[in-house]
Structure 1
Amino acid sequence: MSRSLDSDLLAHLEADDHNQICKDISALLTNLPENELLEIEFLGKSHPLQPGVNYLRDGTAVAIPKLRLVQAFFVARQFLQAYHKDSRLNSSEVMAATAVLLLMDPEHLTAANTRKRLLISCLENSETGELALRREKQFVDSLLTSRLYRHAKSPTLWSHRRWLLHLFTVHDVVVDLHHDIKNVVMIAGIRHPRNYPAWHHARCLVDRDLELAHSIVADVKEFCLKNHTDISSWSFLVYAINKIENKQDRRIVGSSIFAEVLGITDSLRWISESVWTFLRTIATVGLISDQQFESFVAVNKKLASITVETSDQWKTLDSARHWCEKYRPPTGSKMAA
């Protein structure tokens, strides 16, 4: 494959003011709207902009040409390298440069770690520490919920967010974890289906506050029903149910959700492995009655009977039934605590 650039692209690269492009894009990422997240998209060659126009913006919606971002990336990388040689450079400019680097490459560990060091320094030497924390969270959440496939599932960005929440705790800054699951994790789950890093982050949020488990299951259930092939979200729903501390509440919630999901599965003839993994798991952890278990087996057999036996779907149903028959508590026993 040829690595040569076409003449039009070379002309653009030579004519543009790369420093100004970097300043414009970094300003976009640092001067965030009040209490709102940016919705970022990239523009391809099919959407050229006029010279001097480095992005499009309508409210919180932003579109940046990929070429402009690449140009800004090289300038930002040079600035970060200069900072590592001379740490006396302006910290706000360094933060702006790292924002561009992470927008271009969400796995840029050097940029993420530089932001950590600068943020810690800001918290130690400034009275505006809470504002700095919230601004950083706003920036990271904008990347995680953007319409950028790699960013929504970036292990580096999710790790950075967990680290950031730890700082919130250390500095006694309140965070609405329920809001975070609904408006960050779930949005990232929509942007990138089967988003395991996002739902793993949701587990971390529940572990920080176990009372969250009871309040979030209804929202997670709705998400799962709307995205029924997303096994990561179903897995988190099981986790959240099992984290409900009160045993009676856990049985009631688990049994109710199981009955609703089983009914919808029967009605819509869902044979997705994701759904049946959820049903199988709930059926074997002692949260449902014997009557519900019998209904589970009946629906399983019904759907298996109308599914071609050589298909993967039939194997999924057959596996679910045999798993439950193996691990289900003995018939007639009381529901487990």
Structure 2
Amino acid sequence: MELASAVDSAVAAGLEAIEIVPDVLFLSEDEMIVESKVLGIRYKALYKRYVELSKRNQQFTPSALLITILATPENVTAWNRRKDLCIEGGIVKAKAEWKLITIILQSHLEKLCKSPLAWYHRKWLLKTFGPEVCELVHNTDSTEGKCDDELIRLHTEFNLVKVATEHHRCNYAAWGYLRWFILQMSPAKTSAGTGEYNKPGSTYKESKALQEFQEPILEPVIKAEIVRLLEKMCVQHVSDCSHIH
């Protein structure tokens, strides 16, 4: 199967991660391999297909656009064309695109998980199609299944940003997206959902670094959840200041 179509099919089949793998790590001549819901694409094969698609002027099919984005994630034309395909008769389904961008932003590859255009594409999907496009992740440790969909969405986005910032430090695009996401939420709903975190004996601790992030935008919005995530980030990445700015 041609690589572009194979990647598209793998994503549709329930893929959880995409990684661009150095050729030296491949033990066969295959262009790609799927293992435990992770798709590994041979580095040279990806760029070879990207060049071929460019020469044949076939960059604008959904499969070809995905190859283009994986090879050159700051390609504005490719991202804009993906947007067009989402709008034009639903050639690309919005929920499928949401899942794809989640996979891309969780990549270990720096140019993918730190791509401002990729994070903006996620924002665009939410603004264009509404919160219904979000894939809800239930049974989280902090919500215990008791919170409404809005708070679950927040927790899901926290987890995505957490993964992206742990892969690569100083991920300003990720933190900028999280700020924007928080500001879109209903203060009434989110403040009501913080009761679980404000009980006596809570282990949350505030620092000056956390306050610098919270004060401009987070009162009264879901403050305790922010504290939980940022405290963990401060401990794990002491020298990383991207989560403060």
The TM-score normalised by the length of structure 2 is 0.69
Report the equivalent of 1:241: 218
| Residue of 129, 153, 162 corresponding to 2:114 | 153
Q: Please state if 1:47 is matched with 2:35.
A: no
SS in 2 for 1:242: coil
Deviation of 1:192 after TM superposition, in Å, equals: 1.6
SS in 1 for 2:160: helix
**Cα distance in structure 2, aligned partners of 1:271 and 1:25:** 40
SS in 1 for 2:127: helix
Report the equivalent of 2:97: 136
Runs of 4+ off more than 4 Å: 212-218, 233-240, 270-275
Report the equivalent of 1:202: 178
Deviation of 1:76 after TM superposition, in Å, equals: 2.7
Report the equivalent of 2:63: 96
**Cα distance in structure 2, aligned partners of 1:64 and 1:234:** 42
**Cα distance in structure 2, aligned partners of 1:37 and 1:179:** 21
Contact 1:40 1:148 in 2 (8 A): no
**Cα distance in structure 1, aligned partners of 2:213 and 2:89:** 35
What is the alpha-carbon root mean square deviation over aligned residues? 4.1
Report the equivalent of 1:115: 82
Report the equivalent of 1:57: 34
Amino acid at match of 1:133: A
| Percent identical residues | 22
Amino acid at match of 1:112: W
Q: Please state if 1:29 is matched with 2:5.
A: no
**Cα distance in structure 2, aligned partners of 1:179 and 1:33:** 24
Structure 1: stretches of 5+ with no match in the other structure: 1-19, 84-90, 282-337
**Cα distance in structure 1, aligned partners of 2:133 and 2:42:** 36
Deviation of 1:61 after TM superposition, in Å, equals: 1.4
Report the equivalent of 1:298: none
Aligned ranges for residues 209-228 of structure 1 at < 5 Å?
A: 209-211=185-187, 214=191
SS in 2 for 1:70: helix
Amino acid at match of 1:103: L
CA deviations on 1:239-268 (whole Å, 9 max, x unpaired) are 5633439xxxx7xx59xx69xx7xxx9xx9
**Cα distance in structure 1, aligned partners of 2:78 and 2:240:** 39
| Residue of 107, 123, 140 corresponding to 1:162 | 123
**Cα distance in structure 2, aligned partners of 1:117 and 1:273:** 37
SS in 2 for 1:115: helix
Size of the aligned set, in residue pairs, is 213
Contact 2:158 2:178 in 1 (8 A): no
Structure 2: stretches of 5+ with no match in the other structure: 137-152, 198-202
Deviation of 1:197 after TM superposition, in Å, equals: 0.7
**Cα distance in structure 2, aligned partners of 1:114 and 1:191:** 28
Report the equivalent of 1:183: 159
Contact 1:25 1:55 in 2 (8 A): no
Query: Larger % of helix: which?
Result: 1
CA deviations on 1:24-45 (whole Å, 9 max, x unpaired) are 34422344256x5532222223
**Cα distance in structure 1, aligned partners of 2:214 and 2:19:** 30
Contact 2:94 2:133 in 1 (8 A): no
